[in-house]
Amino acid sequence: MPDDDLQLLQAMIATYLDDHPGCSEHDLINWLRSPEQGFFNADALSDSLLLFRTHFLVMHCLYRLRNQWLESNTCWLEISPLSITKQPLVTGTDNQALAETDALAAYYLNLDELATSRDAVDALLQDFWERLLLPRDRMEDLAVLGLDNSASADIVRLTYRRLANEHHPDKGGDAERFRQISAAYQRLKRRA
């Protein structure tokens, strides 16, 4: 993206934050997609690669603004996807040190990351959803089935079938226990 476009995007975001000192990234992107602003196309969130690039450009400009405002002693910009907030600088603290130790800022300030491929973006999203939706510890799911970490895939499958049959609600079993067993087995299958 040409630097002129980045400067325009940054200026638009600064204007929005002046009027909305606390907002979400989603609100900001929707404003930038609105017909009145027209910076991003209406389909900017329609697939994983467009979503990534839209998100990346917004975060890039937010971190540039944060650094610019910090250098000019204007304010501190707290940045997260759920909350973007302009805050007064706190006297007596090393605000510059905060910006210098932010690994996330380093990532978003590197425009080379914008060239991330569709496959890499899809892998990042898959990893995100797996970490969000699946328990981190395989042992937890094995324990639901009454197994330990040494259980083979065949033992897991046979144990699941036995427990599912035993606890199936249609056979007089406990519906909640059946749901727990089924969910644990599905997660274990996905990890295999």
Which pLDDT score is estimated for 6? 94
Residues 43 and 107 in one domain: yes
Residues 16 and 63 in one domain: yes
**12 three-state secondary structure:** helix
Residues 114 and 143 in one domain: no
**35 three-state secondary structure:** coil
Which regions of the chain are under pLDDT 70? 91-101, 132-136, 192
Which pLDDT score is estimated for 3? 86
Which pLDDT score is estimated for 126? 85
What secondary structure, in 3-state letters, does 56-108 show?
A: HHHHHHHHHHHHHHHHCCCCEEEECCCCEEEECCCCCCCHHHHHHCCHHHHHH
Residues 54 and 106 in one domain: yes
Which pLDDT score is estimated for 62? 97
Residues 145 and 185 in one domain: yes
Size of the chain in residues: 192
**26 three-state secondary structure:** helix
Domain annotation covers residue 171: yes
User: What is the b/e burial string over 110-136, where b = at least 16 CB atoms within 10 angstroms of the residue's CB?
Assistant: eeeeeeeeeeebeeeeeeeeeeeebee
**8 three-state secondary structure:** helix
Phi, psi of 78 (to 5 degrees): -85, 125
Which pLDDT score is estimated for 96? 56
The domain that holds 182 is classified in CATH as: 1.10.287.110
Give pLDDT tens digits for 84-137: 999 988 765 555 555 555 788 999 999 999 999 999 999 998 888 777 665 557
Which pLDDT score is estimated for 9? 97
- Residue-number span of the structural domain to which 88 is assigned: 3-118
Residues 112 and 17 in one domain: yes
**2 three-state secondary structure:** coil
Residues 144 and 186 in one domain: yes
Residues 17 and 103 in one domain: yes
